[in-house]
A and B are shown apart, each in its own frame.
Chain A
Amino acid sequence: MHGDGYDVVVIGAGLVGGAVAYGLARAGQRVAVLDEEDATYRASRGNFGLVWVQGKGVGRPEYALWSRASSERWFELSEALTENGGLAPNYTRPGGVIAALSEEELSALDSMLAGLKRAVGNAGYEYEILDAARVRELLPACGPEVVGGAYSPYDGHANPLKLMRGLHASLAGLGADYLAGARVDAIRPLDGGGFDLRTERGTITGGKVVIAAGHGSKALGAMVGLDVPVHPEHGQIVVTERTAPWLGHPTLGIRQTDEGSMLFGASHEDRGFDTSVLARTSRDIAHRAVRVFPGLASLRVVRTWGALRVMTPDGFPIYAQSRAHPGAFVFTCHSGVTLAANHALEASRWVIDGEIPEGMACFAPDRFDVPQAA
C-alpha cells in the first residue's frame, strides 16, 4: 500500500469502478480500488454481456452517440486487456438484431430507430428494418412467428465475466491496489483538498475519489454533496447447455456466448433488493425465446439467476463532480458492459483533468432537480 496516499481512490470494483480504475492506472495514476465482500449486490456478476447500441438514447441523443462511441472503443479495450497479465473478454461486433413477433412490434422498432436517426442528425445512425425474408438471411433459426426485425451494425457482445477478470488482473498488473472487504462508511473531505475514506480496513487517503459503487453510490454521494438517485431493477437470466455455434448475431434478449451457451434474458421487474429467481419469470423469458427460435426448445436449462440493475429515474447514466467538494466524482449507469470502454478510455481522463467535458453536462444529476409542474 502507498503510505503517502493515492492519487485516486475508486469506491466500487464492479464494471464501472473497475473500468475507470483501469484507465487511471494505465495513465500512471496511483490507484486504490475499494470493494465490499463477495456477497453483495453486484450487477457486474449477473449481467447479459451485450455491448448494445440499437434503440438507446431515445429522448437523449447524446446517450445514443456515447453508447456507439463505446462499442467502437471496445475493440481497443478488448485488445488492451490482454496486456499487463489480463485476459481477452472476447468482444465481437457482428451487428445485433431485435426480432419482432408482430407488425406492431415491427412498426414500433421502425419509428424508434427513425426517431433516433433524426435526433442525432449529422452524426449519422445506421440501421436496417428487416422484412420476413431478410431477418431469416441474418438468422436462419427464426421461427414462423418472426415477422421481421431491426438490425444495427453497432451492436456486439463480450464475455462479461472475462471482462471483470480482465480488468482486475490488469489492475493488479499495473500496480493498483485492490482492497476487498473495505466497505467505505464515511468520506471526509480534507482542508486543502483530498479525502479521507473510513473503511473496515482503516482509513485510506486519496487526492481524488470516484464513487462507482452501484447501489452504494446513493449513500456515498450524499457524503460529498452529490445527489445519486439510483434504484434497483431486477433482471433474470436463463442459461442453457452449450451447443455448436448457432446464432451469428446477438439479439436483444437472446444470444449465444463465446463458450456456446444460449442466454435468454431481459426481464425488468421492480422487486426492491430481492435478487431471487421466480419460476414464472424464467418461463416467460424462455417462452419468448422459443417463439423467436423454436430450435431452442430442445436445449436443457442449466442455470438461472437474478441480479439488480443500477437504474436512474430516466435510465441514463450519472456522471458528475461535486461542486461542494471538487475532486469527488460519481459515475453510474445501467449498461456497464456497453460503456466499459468509454469508462476506461475516456471517463478516467475526466478524473485526471479534474473536469467533466461540457458535452457530458447533460448527464449531471441536476437534470432531476426540475420541479414537477403543478
Chain B
Amino acid sequence: MFRRLPDPTGTIAFDFEGTTFEACEGDSVAAALLANGVLGFRTTPASGAPRGPWCLIGNCHECLVEIDGEPNRQACMVEARAGMQVRRQHGARVIPR
C-alpha cells in the first residue's frame, strides 16, 4: 500500500511484537510500521475495533502504540530508533499503582 521514495539515508532495525522490522533513519514509528505493512496499531477501549494512523501530525491519537514498555505513545510523533520494542496498544492504558 505504502511505497518509499528513493531515500539515501541508512537503515535501522527495531522489534515489533517479536518480529524485526527495518526502518529508514529519521522515520517516525508510524511511518516505519506503515512501510512494513502494519495498518492496525491499536484497538479501541470502547469496542475493541482496530485503529491506525489518520492525521500523522500528532492530533488524532489514533496511532497509539506501546514503545519500550510505555503505553499510549503517539507513533507519529516518535522517531524510530535501533533496538526499540514496539507493541500494539490494546484498549485503554492502565495507570500503574
Q: Give the contacts of B39-97 with A (CB-CB under 8 A).
A: 45, 61, 72, 91-97
CB contact between A299 and one of B45, B61, B95 (< 8 Å): that residue: B95
**Do A244 and B94 have beta carbons less than 8 Å apart?**
yes
In the complex, residue of chain A having the shortest beta-carbon distance to the beta carbon of B70: A298
**Do B61 and A241 have beta carbons less than 8 Å apart?**
yes
Question: Most A CB atoms within 10 A — which of B45, B91, B93, B95?
Answer: B95
How many A-B pairs with Cβ below 8 Å? 33
**Do A260 and B45 have beta carbons less than 8 Å apart?**
yes
Q: Report the Cα distance A296→B96, complex, angstroms.
A: 9
Q: Report the Cα distance A242→B94, complex, angstroms.
A: 9
Q: Report the Cα distance A302→B72, complex, angstroms.
A: 11
Q: Report the Cα distance A242→B61, complex, angstroms.
A: 10
**Do B61 and A244 have beta carbons less than 8 Å apart?**
no
Q: Which 8 A-B pairs rank lowest in CB-CB distance, beginning with the nearest?
A: A244-B92, A295-B95, A244-B94, A241-B72, A243-B93, A246-B95, A260-B92, A243-B95
**Do A243 and B94 have beta carbons less than 8 Å apart?**
yes
Q: Report the Cα distance A260→B72, complex, angstroms.
A: 13
In the complex, residue of chain A having the shortest beta-carbon distance to the beta carbon of B92: A244
Q: Report the Cα distance A242→B71, complex, angstroms.
A: 11
Q: Give the contacts of A239-277 with B (CB-CB under 8 A).
A: 241-244, 246, 260
Is A280 on the interface with B (CB-CB < 8 A)?
A: no
Contacts of B72 in A (CB 8 A): 241-243, 300
B interface, CB within 8 angstroms of A = 45, 61, 72, 91-97
Q: 26 A-B Cβ contacts within 8 A?
A: A141-B95, A141-B97, A241-B61, A241-B72, A241-B93, A242-B45, A242-B72, A242-B92, A243-B72, A243-B92, A243-B94, A243-B95, A244-B91, A244-B92, A244-B93, A244-B94, A244-B95, A246-B94, A260-B45, A295-B95, A295-B96, A295-B97, A296-B95, A298-B96, A299-B95, A300-B72
A interface, CB within 8 angstroms of B = 141, 241-244, 246, 260, 295-296, 298-300, 302
Contacts of A242 in B (CB 8 A): 45, 72, 92-93
Chain B nearest CB from A176 CB (Å) reads 31
Q: Report the Cα distance A300→B94, complex, angstroms.
A: 13
Q: Report the Cα distance A296→B97, complex, angstroms.
A: 10
Q: Report the Cα distance A141→B97, complex, angstroms.
A: 8
Contacts of A141 in B (CB 8 A): 95, 97
Q: Report the Cα distance A141→B95, complex, angstroms.
A: 10
A243-B92, A244-B92 given; 20 more Cβ-contact pairs under 8 Å: A241-B72, A242-B45, A242-B72, A242-B92, A242-B93, A243-B72, A243-B93, A243-B95, A244-B45, A244-B93, A244-B95, A246-B95, A260-B45, A260-B92, A295-B95, A298-B95, A298-B96, A299-B95, A300-B72, A302-B61
Contacts of A246 in B (CB 8 A): 94-95
Contacts of B94 in A (CB 8 A): 243-244, 246
Chain A nearest CB from B69 CB (Å) reads 12
Q: Report the Cα distance A246→B94, complex, angstroms.
A: 8
Question: Most B CB atoms within 10 A — which of A241, A296, A299?
Answer: A241
Contacts of A302 in B (CB 8 A): 61
Chain B nearest CB from A251 CB (Å) reads 15
Chain B nearest CB from A249 CB (Å) reads 16
Contacts of B45 in A (CB 8 A): 242, 244, 260
Contacts of A298 in B (CB 8 A): 95-96
Q: Report the Cα distance A204→B66, complex, angstroms.
A: 56
Q: Report the Cα distance A12→B92, complex, angstroms.
A: 38
Contacts of B96 in A (CB 8 A): 295, 298
Q: Report the Cα distance A141→B94, complex, angstroms.
A: 12
In the complex, residue of chain A having the shortest beta-carbon distance to the beta carbon of B58: A302
Contacts of A260 in B (CB 8 A): 45, 92
Q: Report the Cα distance A208→B95, complex, angstroms.
A: 52
Chain A nearest CB from B57 CB (Å) reads 14
Chain B nearest CB from A284 CB (Å) reads 22
Q: Report the Cα distance A244→B95, complex, angstroms.
A: 8
Contacts of B93 in A (CB 8 A): 241-244
